[in-house]
Amino acid sequence: MSKIGKRPVAIPSGVTATVTGQTVKVKGPKGELSVVLNDNVTPKLDKNQIIFEKKGEEKQDQASWGLYRALVNNVVTGVSKGFERKLEITGVGYRAAMQGKNLNLSLGYSHDVVYEVPAGVTIATPRPTEIVISGIDKQKVGQVASEIRAYRKPEPYKGKGVKYEGEFIFRKEGKKK
């Protein structure tokens, strides 16, 4: 029994949801998103909540039940509150700045790294060592954060690089004489 799949998705005030066949469309103050479910799960709109029912008792039906409930919940949260991911930059001379619609990163290479911000995602740099990524699509926000972090992952000796806020970097001891 899926612990996540059996819980209904509550629709907050100011958000409208429509269910047509296997497609769930959600519209809110921040924008509009939709999710297409596979045939293992059936969504039903009941007052201010969406209920999911699985077709059978097979393992794939169980997995899809919880997965699609979580995806629809992320869509509802995204159009009402939005998602945010913060990155921290550590290292001497390492910094980030927005130049127009591009993110300019100085990460210790011989050249600056220019990252083009995709549509649906906004990036802000309140400080030169902090990057704030926000948007309504949780997957897109996480993907952008991962791509920026991949330019210079934190290394274990000095901790230099780009890391998620609150991420623990296991530090190694250096060479001894």
Long-range contact list for 61-67, CB < 8 A, 24+ apart? 62/1, 62/2, 62/5, 64/37, 64/38, 64/40, 65/2, 65/5, 65/6, 65/40, 65/41, 66/2, 66/3, 66/4, 66/5
pTM of the shown model: 0.87
Q: Check residue 21 and give its pLDDT.
A: 87
Domain ranges of the chain: 9-80, 83-164
Query: In which band, very low, low, confident or very high, does the pLDDT at 2 lie, cut at 50, 70 and 90?
Result: low
Homologous superfamily of domain range 83-164: Ribosomal protein L6 (3.90.930.12)
Task: Give yes or no for residue 1 having a pLDDT over 80.
Answer: no
Mean of per-residue pLDDT scores for the chain? 91
| Whether the domain at 9-80 and the domain at 83-164 fall into the same CATH topology | yes
Contact 117, 103 (CB under 8 A): yes
For residues 5-14, average pLDDT: 88
Quickly name the fold that domain 9-80 has. Outer Surface Protein A; domain 3 (3.90.930)
- Give pLDDT tens digits for 116-175: 999 999 999 999 999 999 999 999 999 999 999 999 999 999 989 999 999 899 999 988
- Give pLDDT tens digits for 62-82: 888 889 999 999 999 999 999
